[in-house]
């Protein structure tokens, strides 16, 4: 046997130790990164994850092993790809001695208090939606708590961070608002999709949100529950675009079809300076998105439900919102499209 080459076959329990390689490429940090508060040292997290792997815990070790078709993860590359105010996101690439590889993502709350509570609520919503609509949402793997020891060894400090793993095969990137008419893939450079491509992404998102609506329980997702980086996009070889939802703050309840239409028409995303309305530039594209997710007849009924309460929905808009959201002429044209 050559020196340095491990023998084939799974090692005995207790002898195995997954070799972890850490990096921080920050490749999805975005062209205009903002500093956010850090609640713990990265070295503390590294030690906590290594401990979970060494102990073969149910959350991390077994999920990685499942992705390797039952093979023991011999190596694990963890790359810190980006963060926002509430979470850290890492890409994971596990490998076995048999040459198998499995890629996944780890989403981790930034603290054990409000961010853990929010991320746990988000996971509960995603768990419902990803099972029913696998084409529109990422595939969840497992959730768990990661314990971070207090460096001052205070017994009363119990830092357990909620986290979950999901997979998203292929070359995907989260979005950011590049302008008032364009999306862009997050990265270290300023890149943006064309207006035509951005309109296609709006169309796909409207379809996903309408498809995810539960007409029996009146539950669904509105744009206000999404951030731009919750939306991940892939460009295919034929230059077409795919979009999936990787995050959702919570489900909106007591949501009638007309209210959902209003949220889609008056929903927007922001980069802090500019607002990107979700409503397509052409009113008929909005109608077509509803019809694709529902049917032409059902889309007409949803449209009628909105226009019955049109003044009420418009009355909730601030003066600032009215400056960049669809106005009266747009809504008049949309009403004609439903006829």
Could you read off the pLDDT of 110-165 as tens digits, one per residue?
A: 999 999 999 999 999 999 999 999 999 999 999 999 998 766 555 545 689 999 99
Q: Checking phi first, is residue 153 left (phi over 0); if not, alpha (psi -120 to 50) or beta?
A: left
Check residue 230 and report its DSSP letter. Answer: G
Instruction: State the virtual CA torsion across 66, 71, 74, 76 in degrees, nearest 10.
Output: -20
Q: What are phi and psi of 269, to 5 degrees?
A: -125, 155
In the block, tokens 């780890």 appear at 106
What tokens does 239 get?
A: 């230059």
Q: What confidence category does residue 339 fall into, taking pLDDT thresholds of 50, 70 and 90? A: confident
Q: What are phi and psi of 301, to 5 degrees?
A: -65, -40
The distance in angstroms from the start CA to the end CA of the chain is 77
pLDDT above 70 as % of the chain:
93
pTM: 0.90
pLDDT digits (tens, 9 = 90+) for 162-202: 999 999 988 999 999 999 999 999 988 889 999 999 999 99
Mean pLDDT of 268-291: 95
What tokens does 241 get?
A: 């675009």
Mean pLDDT of 256-282: 96
pLDDT digits (tens, 9 = 90+) for 40-53: 889 999 999 999 99
CB–CB of 92/23 below 8 Å? no
pLDDT value, residue 225: 95
pLDDT value, residue 59: 94
Sort strands 19-23 and 75-83 into parallel, antiparallel or unpaired: parallel
Helix (H) or strand (E) holding 122: helix 114-132
pLDDT value, residue 158: 67
Cβ-count burial 296-334 (b if 16+ within 10 Å, e if not): eeebbebbebbbeeeeebbeeeeeeeeeebbeeebbeeb
User: Collapsing DSSP states into helix, strand and coil, what is residue 236?
Assistant: coil
Q: Which of 37, 141, 146, 29 is nearest to 80 (CA)?
A: 29
Say if residue 3's pLDDT is above 70: no
């Amino acid at each position: 046997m050559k020196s340095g080459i491990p023998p084939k076959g799974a090692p005995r329990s207790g002898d195995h130790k997954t070799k972890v390689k850490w990096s921080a490429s920050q490749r999805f940090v975005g062209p205009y990164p903002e500093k956010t508060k850090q609640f713990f040292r990265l070295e503390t997290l590294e030690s906590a994850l290594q401990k979970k792997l060494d102990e073969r815990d149910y959350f991390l070790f077994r999920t990685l092993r499942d992705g390797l078709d039952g093979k023991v993860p011999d190596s694990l590359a963890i790359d810190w790809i980006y963060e926002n105010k509430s979470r850290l996101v890492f890409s994971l690439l596990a490998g076995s001695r048999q040459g198998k590889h499995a890629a996944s993502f780890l989403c981790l709350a930034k603290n054990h208090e409000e961010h853990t509570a929010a991320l746990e609520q988000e996971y509960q919503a995603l768990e419902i939606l990803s099972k029913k609509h696998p084409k529109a949402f990422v595939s969840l793997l497992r959730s768990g708590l990661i314990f971070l020891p207090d460096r001052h060894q205070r017994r009363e400090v119990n830092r357990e961070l909620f986290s979950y793993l999901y997979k998203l095969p292929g070359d995907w990137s989260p979005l950011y608002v590049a302008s008032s008419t364009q999306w862009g893939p997050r990265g270290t450079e300023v890149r943006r999709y064309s207006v035509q491509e951005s309109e296609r992404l709006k169309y796909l998102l409207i379809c996903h949100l309408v498809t995810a609506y539960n007409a029996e329980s009146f539950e669904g997702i509105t744009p206000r529950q999404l951030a731009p980086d919750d939306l991940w996009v892939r460009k295919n070889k034929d230059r077409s675009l795919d979009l999936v939802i990787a995050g959702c703050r919570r489900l909106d309840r007591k949501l009638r079809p007309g209210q959902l239409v209003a949220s889609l028409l008056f929903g927007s995303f922001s980069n802090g300076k500019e607002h990107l309305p979700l409503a397509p530039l052409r009113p008929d594209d909005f109608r077509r998105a509803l019809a694709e997710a529902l049917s032409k007849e059902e889309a007409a009924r949803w449209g009628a439900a909105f226009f019955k309460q049109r003044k009420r929905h418009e009355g909730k808009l601030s003066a600032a919102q009215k400056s960049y959201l669809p106005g009266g002429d747009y809504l008049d044209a949309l009403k004609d499209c439903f006829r």
